[in-house]
Structures are given as C-alpha cells and as structure tokens.
Structure 1
C-alpha cells in the first residue's frame, strides 16, 4: 500500500505543481477581477465533476464491484461489466451535456447568483461554461477507465494521465496571451481538449493491459441497477468537500469583484497538500480495505486505517501549520506578479489561513470514507454529508458579510471538521475504525512538532521577510524556499527528538516492498 500511495502521490504532486504554474500564469496575465471571476465560475463546474468522479463517488462505487468480479468471476466477466458501465455512463452524460448546453443561462444563474442576469460577468460566464461543459463527459469516462487500471494495480498510468490537464492548460494560456489575445476563452477550450487527451491515453493504456473495453447500446442489467443504487448516495457522500466549495463559490459571487478570485487562488494552494495526500490515500486505501472486508479481516482493516491516518497526518499537520504561518509570504511568492497586486496578495493570504484551519479535516474525510464503501455502505456518508453541507451553507450565510472573502473558506473548514467527527464516530461504533492509544499519542506529538515549526516559521518571516511584494521575484522564491527547507528540517528534528520517526525509520518504510 505504501508503494502505491507514493506512486499516486508522486504523480498527483506533479499534476498539482503544474496546476499551480497554470494558476500563476492566469493570475499574472488576467489579475483578480470580474473577468477572472467569470472564468473561475466556468472552470468550477468541470473541476467539480473531475474531483467527484475522478477521486470520489464513481471510483468508490465502481472499483469494489469491478474488483470483486475480477477476482471471483474472472477476466471476461469483469471486462463485460466494465464495458456495460462505460456505455451507460457515456450515454447518460451525453444527454446531460446537451441539456446543460441548452439550459446554461439557468445553471450559471444558480452557480453565480450574485452576478444578476444582464451583467458582463454573467454573459461571459455563460459563454465560457458552454465551452467547458463537454469536459464532464470525457473526464467521467476517463475516471471509469482509470478505476479499471487501479483495480488491476496499475496506479501509475491512471495518476499520470491527469497531468495532461495542466500541461494543456499552460499551453492554452500561452496561446491566448500571445496568439488569440483572449486568455480566458483559450483556457476554456484547453479544458475540453485536455479531456480528450486524458481519455485517449487511459483507453489506450487499459487495452494494453489486456482489458479491451467496448462501447455498445446501454442496457439496464441487474449489475447496472446495483451500481446505480450505490452510485447515487456515494455521489454526495464522497463529494461533500467539492459541494461545499461550490457553495462557497455561489456565496462569493455576492461579494465585490475579485473576491471569488482571492478565494479560488487560496483554495488552489490549500488543494496542493489536499490533492496529493487525500487523493493518494483514498485511491490506494479503498482496494485494500475492500479486500480485508471481503475476507472478514477486521483487525487487519483497523490496522490499515490507522496506518493510513498516521502517514497522511504526518505530512498534513506541518502543511496546515506552515500555511497558516507563512500565508502572506507564500501568496506573494506564487502570485504577486503582473496584475495581481499587493492588495490581492493580502486578501488571498487571509482566505488561505481560513482554509488551512480545515486542511487536516479535508484529508481525513478521504481516509475515513473508504471505510464505509469497503463494507458496501454508501448511504451513511450521504446522511452525514447532507448535515455537513447544511452546516456549511448556514455558516456561509452568517459569516460572508462580517468576514467578506474569509467567510466562505472558514465555513468550509468548520463544516469539514464536523464531517470528520461524525464519520469517525460511526466507524468507531461499528468496529471499522479503532484508533489505539499509541496512535493518539503519536498524533499529539506530531501536532506539537508542527506547532513548534510554525512558531519558528512565523517569527523568521515576521522579522526578516517583511513586505515581500516589493522584492524581486527570484529573491522571494529563494527566501521562501530556504525558510520552508529550514522549517521542514526543524519539524523532522522535533519528530526524531520526540521519538516519532527517525530518518532510518522513514527510509525503511519507503523502501519496504509490498508483499
């Protein structure tokens, strides 16, 4: 599991880094304004589907069913099931896409209710969303094929395919800036093109792996009905984070122009550790837990859950504390160029600190939710998810006026904490999740080490790196990189001093092969 975790995490890290480069270019070329806000509304919908299907509900529903057929009924039965699922999914999404293109003004009115119906931002958002909407067909089909590859323990190519999204996104910005002179439309077209590339690469890879999927007339077989029954509740249960972010987007549309951009860029920084650790944990944990559940290995399942939680929080806690301590310096170094001015840096850093409060909770949702799906329960996460969404909406309405652009991120963070608490409580009562006293002690010492690192980072930044927006770009990046490296070394030193992890232990875990 550790090897697969690192494989998926490594490719996801590359994708997130390239995504950060793409966002840096958009911030520098377009800035934080109404045009950027309209583009982000158009990009939010396909990105939401990408996260829901690529890392969430479909993976959680399809992979256990496909894995069971592959191990129990053989290759041909599993291939037929996957082909039926692919045909049904693509057919349904094509109908949904046609309806979406026709009803796009009404969809935009829901997602960006604060834009009105006659403004320039609204018209631009409708136009851009019509360009990006076909991406959902392609990325959902790609998610199914990636699920087949994951079930066959071919994690690398499935994770690597998503890198194409950001490579094509960067190329599209360059084309828009220097050739078409319309960056937002070129970027919107690039989103849809990336979907074609991702699906093509994955479809080619799964055929090379010996699983020759085919398209046909969709049929509502018993297997398809069973999958649909599981999929509908799983869609909400695994997508609470994305649905909460969509609520944040809608509420932010009522704030002054540029607010949505500040929230988006803060979320993108927060998504770097969340996407790497959360996606890697959720993707690699589900097949392992499913196998333990099928074999009645409760103790082994509990141990796997605890180990996954420890591994993810070992890196998540310092990321959380580091983002809160160095938010202004990070935003200034990443985005403080071109049309993204000092005021934009300050507001984005404030939103980032609000998001960072919930970072451990966001990732723990990815670790805990597979515990339900591995036992065939897709309903309980839905019920808990509805409560979290309702709380997030209520907190948004309460906080967005007094806290402005900090309100929606803080609401999402607090709702995520509630979500984790409810998920962990239910799993613990069922005996699926049983944290030991040793695990709790180790997590407490990890938190203490992360807090010590954060105090050091904040002190150095406050005294030695004031007003970084006035610095040269190379000086910003160099100074921030040096401080992060020193803070990371301090964190590792504190872990070693407290007996949590020595360098030899860490290297031993990374080199240990999968049985």
Structure 2
C-alpha cells in the first residue's frame, strides 16, 4: 500500500479545496440501478451493432466470400483477437477491480498516479508489440492462416493488410483503458457508443477509398487504422471533463501496475478462451475450401449481435459493481448481483438463440445476399450460424460468470477452467471438422463454451459466491414457455428461404422486421401474462 499524504495542519489550502471539489464530480457512485445502466449500454451497443451489420452488408456486397474477403477477415481478426486479450479481455478484468479499489479506498492523488502509471506502461508494451508485428507481418499471416500458403497472392495480401490493421491494437487498447475509467465512474454511454465510430469509418472507407485502391480490400484495412485513432480521440474529452486525463508515465514498479500485471498474466488466457477458440476455427478453416473463413465470419457476426447488446452489456455494468461490493465486503449483495445477471442472460439469451436458429437463412439473405454474395454462401453460412447459436447462451454466461472471479481478483481459477475448455475445443474441432467442415468448427466452439460456463458456475457455487435466489424454478418455466410460443410462431409464419431470395431488399426488411417484432411481442407478452414484471429486475449497484 502506498504512503498516504496528509496536510501538515487542519487548515485547507486553495489546492486542497479545489481537489475536494473535483472529487465530488469524479467519484464513482452506485446510485444507478444495474438494469438502468445495462439498458444504457445495451442501447448504445445496439446502435453500434446495427451499424456493424450495415458495415458487413457493404463488405459482403463489395467482397462476397472470396479471397479478398478471407484475407481481410484474417488481417482484421489478428489485432482484434489481441485487442480482446489486452483491452476488453485480460487488461479490463485486471484493471477495473484495482481501479475500483483505489477509487473506493485511496485518495484522488493516488488514483491519478495509478492512471498515469498504467497508461504509460500499457503504451510502451503495446508499442513494442505493434512494431514487432508490423515487421513480422508475413510470418504472422502464415501462422494464423497457414492454409493460405497454397495461394501466395492471398497470403501476401493478408500480410500487406496486417501492416495497416495491427496498429489498431495500440489505439483501441488505449481506448479500452479510457473506457474502463469511464465505466468505473459510471459513464457507461460513452464507451458503449465508441464502437459506432469503427463501423462508420469502415463504411466510409468502403465507399470513398475503394476507387483509389488496386484491391478493394485494402480500403477496409485503411478504415480499421483510421477507426482506431477516431475512437481514442473521441473518449479523451470525457476523461478530461472528469479531471482524470492521464499523463502517461511508464512505471512498471508502481504497486498498482504490478498488481494489474500479476492479475492480468493468467487472465490473458482465461478471459479470452472463447476468442482463442474462434481463432483456432480460423486457422483450421484456412485449410478448407475458399470461403470457409468468410462463412464463419458472417455467422459469427450475427451471433455477436445479441451477445454484444445484452451479454457484454450486462458484464460491463456488473464488473465495476461487483468490484465495489467486494472492496466494501458486501458478500450478500455480491451474490444477489450474480443471480440477477444470470436471470437477465436467460431472459434474453434463450429466445435470441432460438430466433437465430429458426431464421438463419432469412437473416443471412436479408443482410448479406447482395452483390458478390451467392446462394451457396448463404447455405454454408447458415450451417455455422446455427452451430454458433447453440452456444449463444453459454457465451453470455461466460461473460457474466467470469466477473464473479475477476471482481475478487481471482484470475487463476478461470485460467484453469479455460485450459480444460480449450483442449476440449481442440479435440472436438478435430472430431467434427471432417464430417461437418466449417460448421463442425462452430459446433465445437459452442460445446466448449458450455463446458467453460458450467465449470465457472460450479466453481462459484463451491466458493459460496453464487447463491441462487428463490423463484428460479418458476422463472425458468416462464422463460421456456415464452420461447416455445415464440418459436412456434416464427416457424409457422416465416416463408421458405428460397422465397426470400426472390424479394427486393425492402420487402425482405419489412417481413424480417415483422417477424422480429411479432416474435418479441409474443415472448414478452407471455412473460407479462405469466407474472414477470420489469420491476423484478431492478437492482442497485
């Protein structure tokens, strides 16, 4: 623990008065309900995901599922994978609990000192990694997509784009650092809105930069780089408004930095097991027929919509809240928060997974069947979409169960569980890729996610941290009943997907919107009739 600094006498000077006033506007509070905060994040994330789908529509029309698309998706997935390890993944899970503790128990000066040290140390590490990756781009392209070796042009294009996309890791990780600070001070809307800029930049690059590029995919690589800078610059004024703008100083010996590194090292693997599994899918898919990487990408993007809008939103608001409760030693409220998160996941995750399975082809046709996207691509992507959708509930459960460990600064247990899940995924990949091709890779990822979530839940139960509150049996019956009614309606009213292909884009959008709204009305209508009320989910952080 660092030394506490106190004034020599009891008479406050002007500087201490100003600092105290600043604390009033920059101290984390816990008056907002978790449901309200979650809805704010969900709304902003929904906007981002909708624009993300618009981005993918543009990419599908521009590149389809050919060699250029495969090369771009690999070149973007590598830094994106690293981002989820260093940013939303291990760094966030290690940084937020430590920052919450400093904000709760330490002085404002110590909080500023921590932010300066963490931002400087993170910048140095990521700058070195980025420089090495740019120099080793051809080798990285081969490492993550070894199947591209049979097509030297595709491998070379991947390496060329990687030199543009990898600096995104540095920029977006610093963005995630700023977002973690804002989330800890319960400014959830700004970090949740920030990804919108990525989609805007990629759409703009596809529209305006493509005519200037020899290969259209290169325009998207430039869009990724521009987006990283835009997202970081967007968040800085909001940090300044809180009086928490860091002055980066690389101080690896700072006690807070050392604690974060100690927590982060095992979490680098544990929190990102699902992402490692998806990356393994890409590696193996590179050996399959051309288009396999793209089919997995398009199907994964649709699964990411409910996962990002609801699963990650719940995890975003619950981690700071759990960290504060752990710091305040409120064990009962900690358990109630976890139970609340599980109920929210079941409420949204189960019907979302069912809808993705039933409407796989209509969704893919409505969003991506334009330009270079073919009927065959739709059929292939639908297979992997259904496989991923089977694991959606597990993906969401991991997002809310893992913070139960990280908030208590336990990163070792998720690592042990993650190792088991990753090895299981490897075995299932090899077992399922032969009979099911790319869909087998998606199914293996889904099954390993259930193993991961199950072991996380069992561990929390054994530690006495997860205690189910009364009413779970009735609640589960209500949710399952609503899903059955919704599923029956979607199956009955949705036309065969070949019919969708013959419709105009406007007609597809109209019918799909009607199905989504109609299914939602049936589901939530049943929940209301069966006694579930919005006030039942109100819980204060």
TM-score tier by shorter-chain length is over 0.9
Cα distance between partner residues in 1 of 2:157 and 2:213: 17
Cα distance between partner residues in 2 of 1:232 and 1:307: 29
CA 1:72 to 1:365, structure 2 compared with 1: closer, same or farther past 3 Å? same
CA offsets per residue over residues 362-383 of structure 1, 9 Å max, x none?
Answer: 0000010000011110100011
User: More displaced, 96-105 or 110-119?
Assistant: 110-119
Q: Of residues 352, 365, 380 in structure 1, which corresponds to 2:398?
A: 365
CA offsets per residue over residues 206-251 of structure 1, 9 Å max, x none?
Answer: 1121113102344423322221110111121211111111111111
Shift of 1:466: 4.6
Does residue 215 (structure 1) correspond to residue 242 (structure 2)? The answer is no
Asked if 2 retains the 8 angstrom alpha-carbon contact of 1:88 and 1:219, the reply is: yes
Aligned to 1:405: 438
Asked if 1 retains the 8 angstrom alpha-carbon contact of 2:387 and 2:446, the reply is: yes
Does residue 392 (structure 1) correspond to residue 432 (structure 2)? The answer is no
The aligned length equals 508
Q: Of residues 59, 79, 88 in structure 2, which corresponds to 1:26?
A: 59
Shift of 1:388: 0.9
Does residue 197 (structure 1) correspond to residue 230 (structure 2)? The answer is yes
Aligned to 1:457: 490
Asked if 2 retains the 8 angstrom alpha-carbon contact of 1:361 and 1:416, the reply is: yes
Aligned to 2:276: 243
Asked if 2 retains the 8 angstrom alpha-carbon contact of 1:306 and 1:439, the reply is: no
Aligned to 1:98: 131
> Which of 1 and 2 has greater Rg?
2
Cα distance between partner residues in 2 of 1:382 and 1:514: 30
Aligned to 1:124: 157
Does residue 347 (structure 1) correspond to residue 380 (structure 2)? The answer is yes
User: Which structure 2 residues correspond to residues 123-202 of structure 1 after superposition, within 5 A?
Assistant: 123-180=156-213, 182-202=215-235
User: More displaced, 308-317 or 136-145?
Assistant: 308-317
Q: Of residues 103, 110, 120 in structure 2, which corresponds to 1:77?
A: 110
Asked if 1 retains the 8 angstrom alpha-carbon contact of 2:210 and 2:216, the reply is: yes
Query: Any stretches of 5+ residues in structure 2 without a counterpart?
Result: 1-33
TM-score, length-normalised on structure 2? 0.91
Q: Secondary structure at the match of 1:116?
A: helix
Cα distance between partner residues in 2 of 1:87 and 1:294: 26
Asked if 1 retains the 8 angstrom alpha-carbon contact of 2:104 and 2:324, the reply is: no
Q: Secondary structure at the match of 2:372?
A: coil
Query: Any stretches of 5+ residues in structure 1 without a counterpart?
Result: none
Cα distance between partner residues in 1 of 2:436 and 2:135: 37
Asked if 1 retains the 8 angstrom alpha-carbon contact of 2:425 and 2:448, the reply is: yes
Shift of 1:39: 0.7
Shift of 1:437: 5.1
Aligned to 2:30: none
CA offsets per residue over residues 111-156 of structure 1, 9 Å max, x none?
Answer: 1011117621111111111110111011111111111111111111
Cα distance between partner residues in 2 of 1:244 and 1:331: 23
Does residue 477 (structure 1) correspond to residue 477 (structure 2)? The answer is no
Aligned to 2:68: 35
Q: Secondary structure at the match of 1:261?
A: helix
Aligned to 1:264: 297
Cα distance between partner residues in 2 of 1:105 and 1:198: 27
Cα distance between partner residues in 1 of 2:236 and 2:170: 14
- CA RMSD between the two structures: 1.7
